[in-house]
Chains A and B, each alone.
Chain A
Amino acid sequence: MSYQSIMKNISIHDRVFEALKKAHDVQPKLNAMVSFIDPTSQLEALKPKDNTLPLYGIPVVLKDLVNMKDTITTGSSKILANYVSPYDATIVKKLKEAGAIIIGKASCDTFGMGGTNKTAATGPVYNPYDLSRMSGGSSGGSAVLVASGVVPMAIGTDTGDSVRKPAAYSGIVGIKPTYGRISRYGIIPYASSLDHVGFFTNNVLDAALTLEILAGRDDLDMTSSQRPVEKYTEACVGNVSGQRFGIISNVTDAIQNKQTMRQFDDLCQKLKDQGAIITKIHLNDDLMKAMLPTYYVIANAEATANHSNLDSLRFGVQVEGKDNEAIMMASRTEGFGPLLRKRFVIGSYALFTENQEIIFRKAQKVRRLIVEDVQKALSSVDCLIAPASGNGAPLIEDSQIDLLSSEYLVAENYMAFGNFSGYPSMTVPFGFDGILPLGVNLTCRPFEEGRMLNLAQGIEDLTGLKDLICEVKP
């Protein structure tokens, strides 16, 4: 559902309550929502406002990491199951100022830590194209709510590929702009040097408009960029002629699925026919294979530090104990799921004084080398391009993958370089593997979102894959 199509419904009351009803209707199948928000007061507040606001009366959903005053924000965890946000995140203020109506919080991997959405305290999120398959994560709830036509836009966050991968699995657009382009104030962190705000839409033009609304300097986020915000919608014309696409051959070489590669090759040929310059870029193989462990070390170490404040003494669900130590021990044991506990253990291991140099600092140095390699590649092309995943969404129970294979280390995890570098990166649909959507990923130089959206628009025009809705029968 696009912004344009939902606006055909003149009554904003009907628009919003229809979306809310649909969210309730699909919940037993998708399990995508953590909490629903009564929109009445937001609709009242909108009444005196200008009905030409860009998102006037548009229902949207937030990932359950985003604080909105007086709403439950659990981070899809048990330990924050009762946490009521005392303030609005900056992006919530911006959405409200643009006229959007927030109707709920969407499920994610707990605190954004995962790529499957199987670790949410409320259980896995299901893919609307095949309910036995995963949404991908960590922003899986947000992705499937857009894919199933509940809302035309949902907020996510992306620390490794947590917007771009679920977007690919759900047949929608997922974008993570440059680090610092959208304020992170008021969002529960995972790993601060990698975290980005991102979002999902059904088409590229809606993504451009959403970015115009959300981007910009925020004094409350010290990593927020002071650069002016472009008119992304004007940049988004779909002209690919003369634009240089660099196919990441490490990724395409590692993909085993012939269906994916055939359609990707077709897309590249079509781009070429439109005057695009297509070349192959081979990044350093050793660095590409080191991507996942580098990510794992840095992200988990930062997460361990970020979440040390979850003591259940000042906020959070408290489990009884004879003293404060016992309360903390019982509350954290009960409140963290197994994946979280595992990640904290690994993260703290990397931070021990004796391990810092050989593990944590080593990972930070490899990060720099990865970024330098990507930067060098982007000096000769305008964007890097490759399928976002070798395959459509995996089965929920799928675990048949070699964790040391190139297919896994490279083809399924390379998008983390967008987080290491902070470069803008997005995924758009480009085909299907059977009934399952496939996404293609673009990465551009920092603050070149306008260029990236233009190229994505060009791809959308060539494939015709826009406004895809997978209806889920209640």
Chain B
Amino acid sequence: MEKQSKSYFIHLAHQLRFDLGDKEAQDITDEFNILIDQMDLLNKIDTQGVEPMVYPFEEPTSFMREDVVNHVLSALEALKNAPSSKNGFFVTKKVVL
């Protein structure tokens, strides 16, 4: 991991669709430097030939069921929390001008 600048993190935040204040970006930059030091602790460990661990352990969880509709969230309920909806659809700003 390399040191990064404040402007780098602001750019990264924009890609994630939020903004950072100047001081906040500086705080992240400073903390990133601590993380770099902590990451060195990982880099000291030999992981040659080790498989990444994605889930805790393999436990059979798949199952078969009848092919019938169940557990449905109605459109009305799905739209209940929408800031704006109309005729069963979410309403957003126009995207095709």
Contact = CB atoms under 8 A, between A and B. Distances in A.
A341 B27 CA distance: 11
B17 A219 contact: no
A435 to B, nearest CB: 32
A314 B90 contact: yes
Given A348-B16, A365-B47, A219 B65 contact: yes
A10 interface: no
Contacts of B24: 338, 341-342
A472 interface: no
B69 interface: no
Interface in B60-97: 60-63, 65, 71, 73, 77-78, 80-83, 90, 92-93, 95
A221 to B, nearest CB: 8
B53 A367 contact: yes
B41 A290 contact: yes
B51 interface: yes
Contacts of B38: 292-293, 296, 403-404, 409
Contact of A422 (B42, B43, B44, B57): B57
Interface in A350-376: 355, 358-359, 361-369, 371
A329 B71 CA distance: 34
Interface of A is mostly: helix
A364 B52 contact: yes
Given A223-B61, A359-B1, A294 B12 contact: no
A296 B52 CA distance: 16
Contacts of A369: 45, 47, 50
Given A329-B19, A342-B27, A404-B38, A371 B53 contact: yes
Given A304-B16, A404-B34, A314 B56 contact: no
B28 A333 contact: no
Nearest to A367: B53
A427 interface: no
Contacts of B51: 365, 368
B53 A364 contact: yes
B59 A313 contact: no
Contacts of B55: 179, 193, 223, 422
Contact of B82 (A315, A333, A338): A315
A225 interface: yes
B30 to A, nearest CB: 11
Interface of B is mostly: loop
A384 B35 CA distance: 28
A427 to B, nearest CB: 19
- Size category of the binding interface on chain A: 35 or more
A323 interface: yes
B57 to A, nearest CB: 6
Nearest to B71: A220
Nearest to A355: B1
A364 B83 CA distance: 38
Nearest to B24: A338
A422 B81 contact: no
Contacts of B78: 86
Contacts of A325: 17
Contacts, number: 169
Contacts of A404: 34, 37-38
B61 A225 contact: yes
B82 A314 contact: yes
A399 B71 CA distance: 47
Interface string A310-343: 0111111010011111011100110010100110
A366 B13 contact: no
Contacts of A446: 57
Nearest to B79: A314
A257 B35 CA distance: 26
A344 B50 contact: no
Nearest to A312: B83
A179 B56 contact: yes
B5 to A, nearest CB: 13
Interface string A371-397: 100000000000000000000000000
B80 A293 contact: no
Given A179-B56, A296-B38, A314-B81, A345 B45 contact: no
B28 A290 contact: no
Contacts of A321: 93
Given A226-B61, A333-B18, A84 B93 contact: no
Nearest to B4: A349
B35 A293 contact: yes
A202 interface: no
A342 B31 contact: yes
Contacts of B81: 82-84, 86, 314-316
Nearest to A311: B17
Given A345-B20, A346-B35, A369-B45, 4 more contacts: A286-B45, A293-B41, A341-B24, A341-B28
9 contacts: A225-B61, A313-B82, A313-B83, A342-B24, A359-B1, A359-B39, A361-B52, A366-B45, A423-B56
